Amino acid sequence: MSVSRRSILAAASAGSAGLTLSPTARSAKASAQAHEEAAVDQTVADLVRRSEEAHAALMRGDVKRYREAITYTDDFTLMSPFGGKPTRGSELTVERIEAMGRFFKNGTFEQELIQAYGSADMVVLALIERQHVEVGELPAQDWPLRVTLVYRREGAEWRLAHRHADPLVKGVSLQQAAALASGEVARDVKSDAGVALPPDPTPGTKHRS
């Protein structure tokens, strides 16, 4: 049983504490809970599929298909795998979104679902994204990412409220983590004129249409 289901059932039980329900009422309550759980499960499955299809398109440079699949909330935030200050949805212009189509090229994409948490109004997906793609001016290579996606329901539509990604799938040592935290790695990369730094925004961003 997922966290969301335990929360739903606990809330329902608390609301009826101290009440003696008739067999008919108990049956109706169980049926309603089962229906709600099934609806949440279906929503989670749909968002997992949509996320995979959208990001597969993005890795091919198909921003149009990506934008058709995913829209953002007004308060969307992005914490990209390149670090730095989080990006807010209000900062994403059409020009910056279109630039993503030129930034990612000829990529393949696979998605592994680690855990999903769902309720009637919010879904959180913990994922491993595995892409092999040309990024900027760099040759094609593997770019596995640890990703958290937060979707929120607004009316009848599910919108992406947050994306957090990091490239630490293979793990790093304490010393490497310390270098990242201190900014030493960032300084080394910026000083290398042969490395094309990514624009902001980075994977997972889009303009709300």
Residue 179 has pLDDT above 60, yes or no: yes
User: Residue 13's pLDDT is what?
Assistant: 47
User: Does 201 sit behind a cis peptide bond, omega within 30 degrees of 0 on the bond before it?
Assistant: yes
Q: Does residue 183 lie within any of the structural domains? A: yes
More confident residue, 125 or 35: 125
Kindly indicate the confidence band of residue 19, based on its pLDDT and cuts at 50, 70 and 90: low
| Tens of pLDDT, residues 38-47 | 999 999 999 9
Residue 190 has pLDDT above 80, yes or no: no
Q: Which residues pair with 117 in a beta bridge?
A: 124
Q: Does residue 125 lie within any of the structural domains? A: yes
- The DSSP call for residue 167 is S
Give helix 23-59 / helix 3-15 axis angle, nearest 10°: 150
Q: Does residue 149 lie within any of the structural domains? A: yes
User: Residue 109's pLDDT is what?
Assistant: 98
- The enclosing H or E element of 169 equals none
User: Residue 203's pLDDT is what?
Assistant: 43
Q: Does residue 73 lie within any of the structural domains? A: yes
* Long-range CB pairs of 83-87, under 8 A, 24+ apart, other chains included: 83/180, 83/186, 84/200, 87/200, 87/201, 87/205
Q: Does residue 29 lie within any of the structural domains? A: yes
The candidate with the shortest Cα–Cα distance to 164, out of 208, 109, 125, is 125
Kindly indicate the confidence band of residue 194, based on its pLDDT and cuts at 50, 70 and 90: very low
Q: Does residue 208 lie within any of the structural domains? A: no
User: Residue 93's pLDDT is what?
Assistant: 85
Q: What domain range includes position 88?
A: 3-12+20-190
Q: What is the mean pLDDT of residues 49-78?
A: 95
Q: Does residue 202 lie within any of the structural domains? A: no
Question: Which CATH number fits the domain that encloses residue 108?
Answer: 3.10.450.50
Predicted model pTM: 0.77
User: Residue 189's pLDDT is what?
Assistant: 52
Q: Does residue 91 lie within any of the structural domains? A: yes
What is the tally of structural domains in the chain? 1
User: Residue 184's pLDDT is what?
Assistant: 80
